[in-house]
Structure 1
Amino acid sequence: MITTDAPTSIHLFAGGCGDLAGFKEAGFQPLLGANHAPPAIATLRANFPGVRGVLENIHTLDMRRLPRARVLVGSPICKEASPSGGRAAPKAQLTLDEADEENKENLPADWSLTRATAWDLLRATEAAIDAGRPFDVVAGENVPGFGLSWLLFDTWLDGFYRLGYIPHLTSVDAAHIDAGDEGRAPQHRHRMLFVFVRKGLPAPDLRPRPLSACPNCGPVRGVQRWEKGTRRKIGIYGTSYKYVCPNRRCGHLEAVPITRPIGDCIDFSLPTRRVGDGKAGKTFRPYVDETRRKIDLGRAKYGDKPFIAIMRRNCVAQSLDEPIGTITAEGSHHMLVIPGDSLDNCRIRMLSTTEKARAQRFPDHHRFQGTDTERTRLIGNAVPPNVGTWLGQRLAAVL
């Protein structure tokens, strides 16, 4: 049922409907979601029965048939936004995290097409204008590398400008955004948000102000301060920008954003297995030396406290008292370790799909459809709902 006073939205979404859930929580009335993957559309229908689901490749979607809406939401990824290192652009489209990871080797040739491309958002915007029902706002997210390394990024921005839209960009970390009922995500997920506002409409306030701890003033709303003067505010927290106290009296000291620990998401009732028993299967397969090394280093650092061993290059282990690194769409990288009296007696398991969804800030009642692999892909490709809510709230304020 469409309410007359709620701003409407269309979602060319990827993953498990995180942006759709966030915008709905922000007071929007989503009308339609489109995706090429059956599990994604099944997830939409399971959670949003009043929203029309369109199962189709975004590249071939007839944009002229999209309904009238105030906002178009889509998080694109382009094969042109290739990893650094001078290699040719890969033939297959990359997921968000692969596109932004430096020095990525041996990229597979069959990455799933899970994002509307940047050009498809332009195509949809132009079609709406031609039909006499332009969107007021076009919005979405991407990795920082999309704006920093894609050679056609300026051309893409100029396309929207020529269609009558003013671009606005901001950078956020999902671990800092305390919007919506679920609050901050216990996961560091650095993203660039883009908002194109139709000329004549007010600009939204896209300045992130996370609840932070100032050593002098206590809890404050931190102000983003960039390390270097840049033409565009695109980057990663801790490398490109930090937060400072808004109060002059303390000299704008650095204020560290308050985060949520991944330990809040862990279900300790789930079964584990001994390191010494090896991987699950009919025959004994020991864990590789690198996995054992990371577990052992975690034991030395955290003692008898459970921790997360990180199965990524240049990563070892982290405490359950802090957010984890980015949940990705392909594979599992976070191993729960419950220390024992020896390395072989440590009990381990990978994070479950439910725990990954919690890390993405999805509520437990959000139902993902498909196989375990498909659900992992839906979760990893999703916009965290708290980020979607934060963005939706700022757009609703000017609509």
Structure 2
Amino acid sequence: MSLTFTDIFCGAGGSSIGLTGAGFELKLAANHWARAIETHELNFQNARHLCADVSNYDMRRLPRTDILWASPICTEISPAGGRKRKKAQLDLLDMQGLDEEEKPRDDSAFERTRATFWDVIRATEVHRYRAVLVENVVDVIDWELFDVWVSAMKVLGYNCQFTSVSSAHIGDETNPHAPQWRDRLYMTLTRTGIRLPDVAPKPLAWCSECAEQVRARQSWRDPDPTRRKIGKYRQQYDYRCPNRACRHALVEPYVLPAAAAIDWSNLGVKIGERHLHKLPELKPNTLRKIRLGLEMFAEPTVVTLTHGTDEDGRTFPASAAPLYARTVKVGDGLTVPPFVTVLRRNGTATGLDDALSTVSAGGNHHGLTIPPGTEGAFYVKNFGGNLDPKHAVKDVRDEPFGAVTTRDHHSLVIPYRRGAKPHRPDRPLSTVATRDAHGLVQDVAVDVNEVRYRMLQPREQLRAQRFPDSYEVTGNRGEQTMQAGNAVSSNVAQWLGQAIAKVL
């Protein structure tokens, strides 16, 4: 008999995808937004669905299940919210910046974000779940009642542990990584008598000092053992090698690049021809970011995965030096094309629209390909404010996306090259070892008007959350974007579910 779960803040279904992938059976999914329930019900037809404000719902009517999953996100304290942090739990979503035709048609989506943390306590008090999983932004610990909430769960008889991790660092051969930097706090609570699961992140990484692949360990920058270990990657913690021989050297876990989520058959529109497509002119700040990106990435480059800085040789033009041996091991170096094609053991290639195996497996499962016309592709973060442009422009070839939010913040830029013939990524290409890919010096000035530019589409944002392409999402573009941004990365939910299943 399978383990069962209730998802009372189901959204579009990321948590449900993950837990069912871990072998759990969904009994009921609830959300206050009709559009999200419509999407969820379309993909989980054997479960009950509830469209209601659960804060006003009689929790006795929920089914009795083994697990409760809850994602009571506080929009006002999310770093992606772009607003001054508040201490209250409820807030209205800001619709400014969305085109009129892209705003969600159902205004109830904006009447409140998601139900409060107190509803987790109400449901748990009634059903005494064997385990409770709660997902939230890391900044939730700044909520003045956070410790009160944790204490209440302990009064109900639950042990609690905290896991801070980025979605980009979770995955394996059966649970592919999400190509997205998304720092979140995951709280795992088990009823008294049930041991807490092992949910300490141990991503695969290459230790150049030990010259071997290792399971990295989190290393917190604040050495005070009395302080709660909650924070963000590269801000509050790093990863280190577990071996003493190298004195626990800093390492960089493997990640799946943003290119894995991009639909390369859609190259966008040339900036100089936007008026022909009745598209508005780009803002000066966006053009400045694009020009910076062209300076950084327009020429084909080689990126070594030692993860140093540009000054110490991490990135260099392909025309400036020979390539390192083609491998996914960090110590050997890696040539970085616009996207990575996964090679299965029988030697055949799969397109980017297939589920990718983890980039950290073995070292012989991935072939690198360069589709003509997309050399130097990068993406731009269209956040407002005083964001340094250098932090707003990222190469799609070695960086996951920034956190996907409920707004269209990411756009794709593809430099145009004379004579290039773009084609769909499902067509096999020659390996990067070919002469044309590596031996050609390209000294081409790029006219910004010839650059192709477009916003990322909802399907690409869903891929960044590790939703399968077969997953159907309803609504217009704005509604689909909102569903993707509010979703849980399904790879992390699956990882947590697998760990919980072992102790139940």
CA distance in 1, matches of 2:55, 2:261: 36
Partner of 1:328: 405
Deviation for aligned residue 1:15? 2.5
- TM-aligned CA distance change 1:280 to 1:76, over 3 Å: farther
Q: Could you say which residue in structure 1 is the equivalent of 2:183?
A: 190
Q: What is the distance in 2 between the residues matched to 1:82 and 1:387?
A: 19
* Distance (whole Å) between structure 2 residues aligned to residue 32 and residue 88 of structure 1: 31
Q: Secondary structure at the match of 1:238?
A: coil
2:312 matches 1:319: no
Q: Post-superposition shift, 1:93?
A: 4.8
1:36 and 2:141 aligned: no
Give 1:58's match in structure 2, choosing from 43, 54, 59: 54
138, 158, 162: which one pairs with 1:165?
Answer: 158
1:318-347 deviations in whole A, cap 9, x for unaligned? 101110100001x21111111133011111
Partner of residue 308, structure 1: 379
The residue aligned with 1:105 is none
State the shift of 1:372 in Å. Answer: 1.5
Tell me how far apart the structure 1 counterparts of residues 78 and 290 of structure 2 sit (CA, whole Å).
33
What's the counterpart of residue 142 of structure 1?
Answer: 136
State the Cα deviation string for residues 193-218 of structure 1 (Å, max 9, x = none). Answer: 01121111111111010111211232
CA distance in 2: counterparts of 1:61 and 1:353, whole angstroms: 32
Of 204, 209, 234, the match for 2:202:
209
Q: Structure 1 counterpart of 2:122, which letter?
A: R
- Aligned residue in 2 for 1:237: 233
Task: Tell me the equivalent position of 2:216.
Answer: 222
Q: Residues 396, 382 of structure 1: CA spacing in aligned structure 2 closer, same or farther, 3 A cutoff?
A: same
1:260 Cα offset (Å):
0.6
The 8 Å contact of residues 306 and 336 in structure 1, kept in 2 or not, is answered as: yes
For the residue of structure 2 that corresponds to 1:367, the secondary structure is coil
Q: Deviations over 1:197-246 (max 9, x none)?
A: 11111111110101112112321110111000252111001110111111
SS of the equivalent of 2:483 reads: helix
Matched, 1:297 2:292: yes
Contact 2:178 2:464 (C-alpha < 8 Å) held by counterparts: yes
Letter in 2 for 1:35: N
Q: How does 1:318-397 map to 2 (within 5 A)?
A: 318-321=394-397, 322-329=399-406, 331-340=407-416, 341-397=446-502
How far apart in 1 are the matches of 2:471 and 2:57? Answer: 27
Task: Point out where structure 2 has 5 or more consecutive residues left out of the alignment.
Answer: 95-108, 300-375, 417-445
What is the letter of the counterpart of residue 206 of structure 2?
A: A
Greater radius of gyration (CA): 2
Give the match for residue 116 of structure 1: 115
**SS of the residue aligned with 2:209?**
coil
Kindly provide the amino acid, as one letter, of the partner of residue 413 in structure 2.
V
Letter in 1 for 2:31: N
Matched AA of 2:23: G
Give TM-score scaled by structure 1 length. Answer: 0.88
State whether structure 2 residue 146 is matched by structure 1 residue 153: yes
Q: What's the Cα RMSD here?
A: 2.3
Deviations 1:44-85 (A, max 9, x none): 221111111111112122211111111110111347858886
CA contact (8 A) 1:306 1:338 kept: yes
1:113 to partner: Cα distance: 3.0
Cα deviation, residue 25, structure 1: 0.7
- Number of positions where the alignment pairs a residue of Structure 1 with one of Structure 2: 374
CA-CA distance at 1:140 after TM superposition: 1.7
Matching residue's letter, 2:410:
H
Assess if the C-alpha contact under 8 Å between 1:308 and 1:317 holds in 2: yes
Contact kept in structure 1, 2:188 and 2:196, CA below 8 Å: no
Q: How is 1:245-260 mapped onto 2 (pairs within 5 angstroms)?
A: 245-260=241-256
1:92 aligns with 91
- Cα distance in 1 for partners of 2:73, 2:405 equals 15
Given that 2:167 and 2:181 are in contact with CA atoms closer than 8 Å, whether structure 1 keeps it comes out as yes
2:73, 2:135 within 8 Å by CA — same for their partners in 1? Answer: no
1:67 is matched with which residue?
Answer: 63
Is 1:77 the counterpart of 2:182 in the alignment?
no
Normalising by structure 2, we get a TM-score of: 0.70
1:192–1:234 CA contact under 8 A, matched in 2 = yes
Q: Percent identity?
A: 40
| Aligned partners of 2:74 and 2:136 also within 8 Å | no
1:266 corresponds to 2:262: yes
- 339-348 or 64-73: bigger deviation: 339-348
- Range moving further from structure 2, 305-314 or 77-86: 77-86
Q: 1:198 to 1:10 in 2, by over 3 A?
A: same
Which one-letter code corresponds to 1:339 in the other structure? P
